């Protein structure tokens, strides 16, 4: 597999700084840039796009529910028309700065609760696909890679959209290929060498092990390295070397 690294970026807000964007951006392939609803603001979006272009990193929009206080991690009851509109609103905001810097949005990766809801509710998935399709059919949608990939690919193609399939390096998986809930123990892997080894196994042998040591043969185009701590840079270097 040709697997790329993606990371949630541009999540600072005003004078509040989040993450290690300047150090991480040169190490990744794809940057999921916050669009103002869960994090970021006009100035930070401008800076993030400029930084991504400087290092030739592919730009993805990272839209969320309108939940700045909850960092987009809380599900919200929205109509499908509202979901379509909030996606379009955030795409438009990020697109303005991409045009300013002579670059473009290549994909959309919903953030937090919106991402989880998209994976559980086909109607929400369709609303997001509809929004992207009406904006630009060349923009892809990043979703969690699961045993349901073929069905999701078929749904996406009905809207003229291609998918990017994502896995998480630091999350455990159930036997059905779904992430172990963060409410459960052992949902997150903390051993960096273990994470790197599972990525090597995926790349070379096409599978990762579930939390119960079952082999999950799973397709992956990209790995999320969503780390916002002091070990992030060294860990990403380790993963990059492993790939």
Q: Whose CA is closest to 144, among 118, 106, 174?
A: 118
Query: Is the Cα torsion angle 228, 234, 239, 243 positive or negative in sign?
Result: positive
| Cα gap 199→139, rounded to integer Å | 27
pLDDT in the model for residue 99: 98
Say if CB 232 and CB 24 are below 8 A apart. Answer: yes
Q: How many helices (H) and strands (E) does the chain have?
A: 8, 9
Which residues share a beta bridge with 243?
none
pLDDT in the model for residue 11: 94
Answer whether 0.85 is exceeded by the pTM: yes
**3 state DSSP class of 31:** strand
pLDDT in the model for residue 241: 83
Query: Is the Cα torsion angle 179, 181, 187, 192 positive or negative in sign?
Result: positive
To which residue do tokens 């994976």 refer?
119
3-state helix, strand, coil in the chain (%, to 5): 40, 20, 40
Pick the CATH number of 4-242 from 3.30.230.70, 3.40.50.300, 3.20.20.370, 3.40.50.150: 3.20.20.370
pLDDT in the model for residue 227: 65
The answer for residues whose C-beta is within 8 angstroms of residue 56's C-beta and 6 or more apart is none
Say if CB 162 and CB 132 are below 8 A apart. Answer: no
Alpha helices in 60-213, H assignment, sequence order: 80-100, 112-120, 122-135, 149-158, 192-205
Reading the chain (243 residues) residue by residue, the pLDDT tens digits are 689 999 999 999 998 898 889 999 999 999 999 999 999 999 999 999 999 999 999 999 999 999 999 999 999 999 999 999 999 999 999 999 999 999 999 999 999 999 999 999 999 999 999 999 999 999 999 999 988 899 999 999 999 999 999 998 888 999 888 888 877 888 888 888 888 888 889 988 989 999 999 999 989 999 998 666 667 888 888 888 878
What DSSP designation does 47 have? H
| Cα gap 78→83, rounded to integer Å | 6
- Residue 164's CB: how many other CB atoms inside 10 A? 21
């Amino acid at each position: 597999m040709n697997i790329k690294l993606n990371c949630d970026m541009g999540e600072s807000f005003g004078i509040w700084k989040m993450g290690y964007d300047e150090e991480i951006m040169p190490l990744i392939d794809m940057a999921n840039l916050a669009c103002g609803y869960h994090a970021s603001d006009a100035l930070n979006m401008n800076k993030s796009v400029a930084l991504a272009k400087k290092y030739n990193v592919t730009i993805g929009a990272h839209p969320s529910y309108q939940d700045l206080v909850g960092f987009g991690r809380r599900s919200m009851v929205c109509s499908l028309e509202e979901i379509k509109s909030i996606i379009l609103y955030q795409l438009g905001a990020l697109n303005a700065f991409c045009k300013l810097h002579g670059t473009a949005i290549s994909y959309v990766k919903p953030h937090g609760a919106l991402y989880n809801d998209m994976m559980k509710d086909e109607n929400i998935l369709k609303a997001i696909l509809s929004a992207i399709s009406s904006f630009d059919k060349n923009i892809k949608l990043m979703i969690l890679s699961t045993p349901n990939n073929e069905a999701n690919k078929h749904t996406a193609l009905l809207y003229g959209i291609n998918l990017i399939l994502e896995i998480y390096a630091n999350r455990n998986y159930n036997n059905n290929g779904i992430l172990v809930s963060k409410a459960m123990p052992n949902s997150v892997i903390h051993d960096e060498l273990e994470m790197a080894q599972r990525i090597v196994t995926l790349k070379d042998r096409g599978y990762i092990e579930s939390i119960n040591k079952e082999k999950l043969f799973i397709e992956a185009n990209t790995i999320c390295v969503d780390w916002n701590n002091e070990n992030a840079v060294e860990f990403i270097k380790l993963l990059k070397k492993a790939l």
